[in-house]
Amino acid sequence: MVLMVAALAVSGIAPAVAADLPSPAYSRAPAVVVPVPYDWSGFYLGGQVGYAGSSSSYTLVEVPTSEVFSFNPSSFIGGGHAGLQGQWGSGVFGIEGTFSVLDQNQTDIAVLLPGRLRMLSTKDIATVVGKAGYAADAWLFYVKGGFADAKINTFAINPATGIFGGANAWQAGYTVGGGVDYMFAKGWIAGVDFNYYDFRFNRPVVASSGVLVNFNGKNDVYAGMFRLSYLFNWASPVVARY
């Protein structure tokens, strides 16, 4: 009888004690960060700066002589660029325009007409190119090619007489190149690229003593540049989902 009373007492106390215990705390599941691909689509603006070398030559006809002159000037190069591109899967395609200034110039002394000076200089280069690239998250690898135009000056002078002549004009050509871009912050892209520019020309050179002629002229310019751009319509690289 005593045992039955004790058992009933304990069974009555247990629910009461359980009711007084605090409810177990509910913990919310941690946020899951789901990577979202970088979006390289949009309009971008930026600048570039670097170094440019060249391999150039022309034949100057000055009766009674015809002489070939070769030039290899180099200089800084820098300017601005703007472009529009779209991304489809890992492929990125677009169009870009650039304008760069440089200061390549060289003067040679004539051999057949001793004392006379011949010069070639390149001051500006503008391009419009198509681009095709492969995007790997924050990295973009691309090639490009298209139209190029350069301000090329050819000049000749005889210091002994003061007779001179020259032709300073824009010369159309083409360019090809490629590079790598890295999206290091929201909207900001740093990159490096290489550019080859090819120009060919034949042109009259109006001189104070008559008309001279440049022919078989070529101006091959190659440049490596660092680029910094801002891309509009940039997607965040990560998003938190619960």
What is the reported pLDDT for 163? 82
CA–CA distance from 197 to each of 52, 172, 200, 226, 228 (Å)? 10, 10, 10, 17, 21
Count the helices and strands in the chain (H runs, E runs): 1, 11
The predicted-structure confidence for 120-170, as pLDDT tens digits, reads as follows 999 999 999 999 999 999 999 999 999 999 999 999 888 988 888 888 899
User: Hey, where are the domains in the chain?
Assistant: 38-241
Q: Using the CB atoms, write b or e for 86-122: b if 16+ within 10 Å.
A: ebeeeebebebebebebebebeeebeebeebebbbbb
Cα–Cα distance measured from residue 99 to residue 85, given in angstroms and rounded to the nearest whole number: 18
Residues in CB range of 86: below 8 A, 6 or more apart? 41, 92, 93, 94
CA distances from 114 to 71, 209, 217 (A): 18, 17, 22
Radius of gyration of the chain (CA): 35
Q: What is the pLDDT of residues 5-52, one digit of tens each?
A: 344 444 554 444 444 555 555 556 555 554 556 899 999 999 999 999
**What pLDDT digit, counting tens, does each position of 96-129 carry?**
999 999 999 999 999 998 999 999 999 999 999 9
**Highest CATH level, class, for 38-241:** mainly beta
Q: Give tens-digit pLDDT for 178-210.
A: 999 999 998 899 999 999 999 999 888 777 666
